[in-house]
């Protein structure tokens, strides 16, 4: 069963705009990871945030984690056409397994 749920399911934005997507989960976690999947390809790891961290940055990506609300957000700033992809959150349940959400499909229009 999926632990994380992303919101929204789909997002369409203009190039240069910011894209924000959210992930909610149900149980305590050790860390939460975000992945990107381009059409026809495998998932690519973007960023990992540990349960004792609140915010993390990597290039144009900003991830927040609120363990009290069991939620995380991924912000992509100054979006580009190449950011068009599906984005998944994955929760580490502490048993070396990851539970992936259903994903947010992001379309960046030129």
Partner 1 sequence: DAGVIQSPRHEVTEMGQEVTLRCKPISGHDYLFWYRQTMMRGLELLIYFNNNVPIDDSGMPEDRFSAKMPNASFSTLKIQPSEPRDSAVYFCASSLRPREGNQPQHFGDGTRLSIL
Residues forming the site for partner 1 (CB under 8 A): 2, 30-31, 33, 35, 40-45, 48, 50-51, 88, 92, 94-103
The nearer residue to partner 1, 33 or 84, going by C-beta atoms, is: 33
Q: How far is the CB of 14 from partner 1 (least distance, A)?
A: 27
Q: How far is the CB of 3 from partner 1 (least distance, A)?
A: 11
- Residue of 108, 27, 110, 7 lying closest to 70 (CA atoms): 27
Q: How far is the CB of 43 from partner 1 (least distance, A)?
A: 5
The nearer residue to partner 1, 75 or 102, going by C-beta atoms, is: 102
The nearer residue to partner 1, 16 or 94, going by C-beta atoms, is: 94
- 8 preceded by cis ω (within 30°)? yes
Q: How far is the CB of 75 from partner 1 (least distance, A)?
A: 20
Locate 55 and state its tokens.
């915010």
Determine the Cα–Cα distance for residues 37 and 60; give it in Å rounded to an integer.
17
The nearer residue to partner 1, 99 or 107, going by C-beta atoms, is: 99
How many other C-beta atoms can be found within 10 angstroms of the C-beta atom of residue 77? 14
Question: Beta-strand (E) ranges in 39-84?
Answer: 43-50, 55-58, 61-66, 71-76
């Amino acid at each position: 069963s999926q632990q994380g749920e992303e919101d929204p399911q789909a997002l369409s934005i203009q190039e240069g705009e910011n894209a924000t997507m959210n992930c909610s989960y149900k149980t305590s976690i050790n860390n939460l990871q975000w992945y990107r999947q381009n059409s026809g390809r495998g998932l690519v790891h973007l960023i990992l945030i540990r349960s004792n961290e609140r915010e993390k940055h990597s290039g144009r990506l900003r991830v927040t984690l609120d363990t009290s609300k069991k939620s995380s957000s991924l912000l992509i700033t100054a979006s580009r056409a190449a950011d068009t992809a599906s984005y998944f959150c994955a929760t580490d349940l502490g048993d070396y397994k990851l539970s992936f959400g259903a994903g947010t499909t992001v379309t960046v229009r030129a």
